[in-house]
Amino acid sequence: MPIDDFNRRTILAAGLGAIAAGATAAPLDLTATQDLGPFYPVMRPLDQDADLTRVAGRRGVASGQRIIISGRVLDHAGRAVPHAALDIWQANSHGRYAHPGDTHDAPLDSNFQGSAKIVADAAGRYRFVTIKPGAYPIGGGLQRTPHIHVDVMGRSQRLTTQIYFPGEPLNATDILFPHASPQASVIARALGAVPGAAETLAFGWDVVLMTG
Ligand SMILES: [Fe+2]
């Protein structure tokens, strides 16, 4: 099955769940706000498309576990937020940001785009391809668990947050991971390997804004 067909199905399934929740008039749990962090991109490659595993003009592919993250941007009633903008940035597979403030002794990856600016469609659906970010040290013997930063701009509301991965051992000790319930709003759902592309893992993550 082509990857796009698979993602259309998974996005549709996620969206139908949200619509069903909205239809019952039970408000959805809002996505938690998370810190912007110190590595918001100050140097971006010209290429800011939805495939972070390749940089335009380069032949190589980013190192690391290839993943696809897809979902919808919704308001608290489960209504789509059409054409929401998502500003995405993350560490590479070695846990290093392409940022002058990241002096961590881990290699840069010139084939990794590192950041992206994408726009959801009219039904609030988005999708991007990237690599799973590595953990990185923050001093004091602590490490940030793997996460992806996202700044979501709806029609009337902006939300800065981070996407986490389920089952990560470092989630338990991360200083920003939300240890108190509800946690689910910032943890992606593991959807397994992408049919026809077994080396790629799919994750689902919906963003819920109060007003959209
Ligand atoms: Fe970070």
**Does the active-site annotation cover 164?**
no
Q: How far is the CA of 149 from the centre of ligand 1 (A)?
A: 6
Helices (H), ranges, 24-88: none
Q: How far is the CA of 95 from the centre of ligand 1 (A)?
A: 9
Q: Which of 144, 158, 164, 189 is catalytic?
A: 144
Q: How far is the CA of 82 from the centre of ligand 1 (A)?
A: 27
Report the number of distinct structural domains present in the chain. 1
**Does the active-site annotation cover 40?**
no
Quick one: which of 102, 164, 128 has its CA closest to 47? 128
Q: How far is the CA of 72 from the centre of ligand 1 (A)?
A: 22
CATH number of the domain to which 71 belongs: 2.60.130.10
pLDDT, tens digit, for every residue of 139-150? 999 999 999 999
Q: Is beta strand 147-153 parallel, antiparallel or unpaired with respect to 158-164?
A: antiparallel
Asked if the model's pLDDT at residue 171 lies above 80, the reply is yes
**Does the active-site annotation cover 147?**
yes
Ion ligand 1: residues, Cβ under 5 Å: 37
* pLDDT for the residue numbered 13: 52
Q: Which of 99, 127, 149, 164 is catalytic?
A: 149
What's the domain range around 178? Answer: 3-209
Average confidence score pLDDT of the chain: 90
Q: How far is the CA of 89 from the centre of ligand 1 (A)?
A: 8
pLDDT, tens digit, for every residue of 46-94? 899 999 999 999 999 999 999 999 999 999 999 999 999 999 999 999 9
Q: Which residues of 13-36 are buried (b: 16+ CB within 10 A; e: fewer)?
A: ebbeebeebbeeeeebeebeebee
Please report which confidence band the pLDDT of residue 22 belongs to, taking 50, 70 and 90 as the band edges: very low
Q: Which of 97, 99, 127, 164 is catalytic?
A: 97
